[in-house]
Amino acid sequence: MQDFGDIIHNHVLLVALVACLIAQALKLLIDLGKHHKVNLRVLVETGGMPSAHSALVAALATGVGQSAGWASTEFAVAVVFAVIVMYDAAGVRQAAGKQARILNQIIDEFFQEDQQFNEKRLKELLGHTPFQVIVGSILGIIISWLAELAY
C-alpha cells in the first residue's frame, strides 16, 4: 500500500494532472464564451482549445526536466513521449476527424430519400489544430514552472 502513497506524493505527476484539468476547465470557459451556455460535455470530449493532452505531456516533460535534470535520460524519454502525443493530437486524430466529417456528409446525402440507416454518426471532433496543441503545451510548461516556483 506504500507504493500507492508514493504515487499520490509524486509532485511531477500531480502537476501534470493539474495542467490537464486546468486545460479541460479552460475548454468549458471558452465554450461558454462562444455559445453563451454551459456545456459540461466539453469537460470529457476530445478536441477543442486548448489541448489538454498537450498540456499534460508538456507539464510532465517540464517537470521531469526540472527534477531529473535537462540532460537526463528521463527528460529525453519524456520529451519524445510528449512530441508523439502532440503529433498524434494535431495530425492523426485531426485527419480522422476530417474523414468522419466527410463520411457523415456522404451518409446524409446518400440517405436523404427516407432510406433507413441505423448506424450512429461518426464523431468529427477528434483532434486539435496545431494552434490548440501549441497553446496546450505552453499552458503545461507555464503551470509546471509556476508549480516549481511554489514548491
Per-domain residue ranges of the chain: 2-150
In terms of C-beta density within 10 A (0-12 exposed, 13-18 middle, 19 or more buried), how is residue 23 classed? buried
- pLDDT for 56 equals 97
- Would you give the DSSP letter of residue 47? -
Per-residue pLDDT band for 80 (boundaries 50, 70, 90) equals very high
Is this structure's pTM higher than 0.85?
no
Residue-wise burial string across 109-145, b where 16 or more C-beta atoms lie within 10 A, e elsewhere: eeeeeeeeeeeeeeebebbbeeebbbbbbebbbbbbe
Q: Distance (Å, rounded) from C-alpha 9 to C-alpha 4?
A: 9
Question: Max alpha carbon distance in the chain (Å)?
Answer: 63
Q: What is the pLDDT of residues 42-59, one digit of tens each?
A: 888 777 889 999 999 999
Contact 54, 140 (CB under 8 A): yes
**Mean pLDDT for the chain overall:** 85
**pLDDT for 72 beyond 90:** yes
Per-residue pLDDT band for 114 (boundaries 50, 70, 90) equals low
Contact 40, 125 (CB under 8 A): no
Cβ–Cβ contacts within 10 Å for residue 36, how many? 7
